[in-house]
């Protein structure tokens, strides 16, 4: 097979990888833009809560602490690209002529799908956090979600500042 015809085999494989990469979700730096899942359960009556301006400090008593679990998923984009390239290279080693072209494209597609799934499974992480409800001295309820409680417990006096409750 001539060198010039081998160059044309790379074009379909690269096109397949590019198409599959375009199907992947956009990469956002590994961070979820939705924050913690703070949706209340169905039928839950939301108490009179406050959204504190930056720099505000409030005092009150901790009413409840709820552990919550959040999951952040990987987009799988990097796995798609690497898997597609590896699959295309492996597929290119099989057969000759039109069979080699088909093997190259098929290898790129299978590799891209496999790489995407592998990265998604390996890239998801679970984090534990706590939703803390503090009944403020003025009767309102401040709800904050934080990753560390320190020694904060239900019934304790608390200081709420910068989206965090701390013992007071």
Q: Give pTM, 2 decimals.
A: 0.42
Place of tokens 């492996």: 90
User: In the chain, what are the domain boundaries?
Assistant: 3-28+45-167
Place of tokens 């209340």: 40
pLDDT in tens, the chain (168 residues): 455 555 555 656 666 656 555 555 554 444 444 444 445 555 544 555 555 566 788 999 999 999 987 666 666 777 788 888 888 888 888 877 778 888 888 888 888 888 888 877 776 666 788 999 999 999 999 999 988 888 999 999 999 998 889 998
- What is the rounded CA–CA span in Å between residue 152 and residue 131? 12
């Amino acid at each position: 097979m001539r060198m010039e015809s081998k160059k044309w085999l790379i074009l379909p494989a690269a096109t397949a990888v590019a198409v599959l990469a375009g199907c992947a979700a956009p990469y956002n730096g590994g961070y979820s833009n939705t924050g913690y899942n703070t949706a209340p359960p169905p039928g839950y009556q939301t108490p009179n809560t406050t959204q504190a301006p930056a720099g505000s400090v409030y005092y009150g008593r901790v009413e409840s602490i709820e552990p919550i679990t959040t999951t952040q998923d990987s987009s799988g984009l990097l796995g798609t690209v690497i898997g597609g390239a590896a699959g295309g290279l492996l597929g290119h080693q099989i057969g000759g002529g039109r069979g080699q072209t088909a093997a190259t494209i098929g290898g790129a597609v299978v590799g891209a799908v496999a790489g995407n799934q592998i990265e998604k499974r390996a890239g998801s992480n679970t984090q534990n956090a706590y939703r803390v409800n503090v009944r403020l001295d003025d009767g309102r309820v401040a709800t904050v979600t934080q990753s560390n409680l320190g020694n904060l417990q239900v019934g304790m006096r608390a200081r709420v500042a910068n989206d965090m409750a701390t013992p007071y």
